[in-house]
A and B are shown apart, each in its own frame.
Chain A
Amino acid sequence: MSLENLLLYFFAAASLAGGVLMLVARHPMRVALALIGSMISLAGIYAILGVHVIAVFQVLIYVGAVMVFMVYVIMLLDVRDPSFLERYGRAVIPSVAIAALLAAGLGAAAGRGRIATAADLAQLRPGTPAASFGIQPFSAEFLGRYWLHFELTSVLLLAAVVAAIAIVRTGWRRDG
């Protein structure tokens, strides 16, 4: 087994362990740390798969922005909350059963059938050169062919900021 495959299995196991820890941990801060570990392992998987740009984005956007925000909010809130002490709600066994069914169904669907390779796709659409996932081709493609989508994301982020401010202002008004 090559080193690359070994690392792939290691990161896959680490991300799974993070996911299981998220279900077991009691305090939300531990859950957040388990999720961060899982996300960093996924970034490692992306790097091994050769999509370096997405690995960088995974660390920057998810771990750097979303999870830091989440950790701040957890630290802001009261640790004596009842939901911090009691982990699980009522319907534990049915939901685990439903999730197991879902996983089995999806896994069976994914295991069946043959997945097309890059060569098949190139045959399907002749003339398109095989792209590499380095920073430079990604940037050129992103700001060239997809400039409209790039600009639309900034509109989406602006809308999110306005919505967040509107939510907070509604809360102020209700409090008087």
Chain B
Amino acid sequence: MDRTQLMLALSVTLFALGFVGVMVRRNALVLLMCMELMLNGVILSLVTFAGRSATLDGAVLVFLVFVVAAAEIAIAIPIVLLLARQRGTLDVTAYSELKG
């Protein structure tokens, strides 16, 4: 198997694993971590393509994605903490107000 195809297959698999985690798990923090796994899969494909191009643009873009991920987690974790304090649980099945 070609190296690029191996990396793409790995990236797709990581994304799918993270997706299953987001859909299936109940703990809000585990949900956040599974989202990080999905993002890591996407970044792997971006790095694979960046490594094949002859320019540094892709590498700079990956750095910007890292910064955005850090900012995302810095906002998501206080929200989860507030939810946990208000409801007394981290179980996402308990947050069902938006259900029709």
Contacts and interface: CB of A to CB of B under 8 A. Distances in A.
A167 B82 contact: yes
Contacts of B36: 35, 62, 66
Contact of A28 (B5, B10, B30, B62): B30
B40 A77 contact: no
Contacts of A12: 6-7, 10
Q: How large is the interface on A (under 10, 10 to 19, 20 to 34, 35 or more residues)?
A: 35 or more
Interface residues of B, number: 72
Contacts of B5: 110-111, 115
A73 interface: yes
A128 B54 contact: yes
Contacts of A45: 7, 10, 44
A3 interface: no
Contact of B70 (A61, A73, A117, A118): A61
Which 10 interchain pairs have the tightest Cβ spacing? A95-B23, A160-B71, A83-B91, A103-B16, A19-B17, A83-B27, A110-B8, A171-B82, A83-B26, A99-B16
Given A84-B90, A175-B85, 11 more contacts: A16-B17, A42-B43, A42-B44, A51-B62, A62-B69, A77-B90, A81-B89, A81-B91, A107-B8, A125-B54, A171-B81
